[in-house]
Amino acid sequence: MNQKIDLLFTLDEGYLAPLKVALLSIHDNNPRQDFRVWLVHERISEESITTLQAFCHSLGFELQVIKVDGSNWASAPTVARYPKEMYFRLLAGEILPEDITKVLYLDPDILVINPLTDLWNLELDQHLLAAATHTGLLDVSTPINKVRLDLDHEYYNSGVMLLNLTQAREKVQWADISRVIEKYAHFLVLPDQDILNYLYGKYALTIPEERWNYDARMYAKYFTRSLSKHDLHWVMANTSILHFCGKPKPWDKKHDNRFTALYLSYQNRVVELEKEL
C-alpha cells in the first residue's frame, strides 16, 4: 500500500455534488492508493456531512471535516461563483493539524483521469507550493496579470496546488492577507487566486499544466501548441487532472465539449452509487 495522500477541498454546500464526482474519479484512477480527504467549510449542514461520510466510506476514503469561523473574511470580495470558502485554502497551514506537512488542494470542478502519485511525490524543498500556469498560444493573460498585480513571476492557477504546509506555517500570515484585501479589493478579479499570486507566487514551483491542471476548455490550444501531439489519445494517457475552468460547468446543460460526456458518465455513476447507500 502506498503512502496515504492528503487531499484538501474548501467549499460550500452548493459544490458537494461536483465534489463527489471528483472523488469517484480519484478512486477509479488511483487503485490501491489510500486517501484522506480534508473538507474545510463554514456552514455545510450535518445531514450533508453525514451523506458525504457515507459516500467516502463506500470509496474507502477517510473523511476529516473541519468547520471554521469565516468572520475573518467578512470584508473579502465574494460573488456566487467565488464564495467565502475559497479563501480557506490560503490558511491551510493554520487550519490543518500540525502533523500534516503537505496536502494536495483541488477545486471540486475537476476530473482525475490518471494517477496522482507523481504529483504527490514531487519534491518541494523550500517552495511553498507547486502549481501550474494557464497560458494561451500568444500568452496574453499572463502579461496582463503581471501588470495588474505588479508581479515578477508567472501567474499561477490556484485550482490545483501541492501545498508545503511547513513553509505555509512560516510564510502565510493572516495580517498580510487582510492588508491586501483591504487595500486592493477593487483590483481583485479572481480574489483568492490574485491574493495567492500577489503574496506567495514567488515561492511557487511550476508544474506542467498539460498533466496536472488541464483547462478542459482549451483542447485546441494544447493540440496546436504541441504541434498536434497532445490529441485526445495523449490526454487520456498522460493528463492526470482535467480542470473545468470558467462557465458553463460540465454539469450545466450548456456545457458541450470533448470532455462533457466523460464528466457526465462519472456524474451518472455517482447518482447510481448514492442510491445504494
Q: pLDDT value at position 140?
A: 39
pLDDT tens for 230-264 read: 999 999 999 999 999 999 999 999 999 999 999 99
- How far is it, in rounded angstroms, from Cα 242 to Cα 188? 25
Q: What is the mean pLDDT of residues 145-166?
A: 78
User: Average per-residue pLDDT in the chain?
Assistant: 90
Q: pLDDT value at position 76?
A: 65
- Flag whether pLDDT at 137 surpasses 50: no
Least confident of 115-124, 161-170, 171-180: 171-180
Residue scoring higher pLDDT (192 or 52) = 52
Question: Residue 69: is it exposed, middle or buried by C-beta count within 10 angstroms (0-12/13-18/19+)?
Answer: exposed
176 CB contacts (<8 Å, ≥6 apart)? 199
How much is the pTM? 0.92
**Under 8 Å between Cβ of 77 and 188:** yes
- Angstrom CA distances, 267 to 24, 34, 114, 178, 213, stand at 9, 22, 17, 38, 20
pLDDT tens for 20-78 read: 999 999 999 999 999 999 999 999 999 999 999 999 999 999 999 999 987 776 666 66
- Flag whether pLDDT at 156 surpasses 70: yes
- How far is it, in rounded angstroms, from Cα 150 to Cα 168? 22
Please report, to the nearest 10 degrees, the dihedral formed by the alpha carbons of residues 10, 222, 246, 24 taken in order. -40
CATH fold of 5-208+268-276:
Spore Coat Polysaccharide Biosynthesis Protein SpsA; Chain A (3.90.550)
Question: How is the chain classified by DSSP, letter by letter?
Answer: -PPPEEEEEE--GGGHHHHHHHHHHHHHTSTT--EEEEEEESS--HHHHHHHHHHHHHHT-EEEEEE--GGGGTTS--BTTB-GGGGGGGGHHHHS-TT--EEEEE-SSEEE-S--HHHHT---TT-SEEEEE---SS--HHHHHHHHHT-SSPPEEEEEEEEEHHHHHHH--HHHHHHHHHHHGGG-SSHHHHHHHHHHGGGEEE--HHHHSEETT-HHHHHHHTTT-S-HHHHHHH--EEE--SSS-TTSTT--STTHHHHHHHHHHHHHHHHH-
Q: pLDDT value at position 198?
A: 87
The angle at the Cα of 126, spanning 201 to 132, to the nearest 5 degrees, equals 40
pLDDT tens for 74-129 read: 666 665 555 677 778 999 999 999 999 999 999 999 999 999 999 999 999 999 99
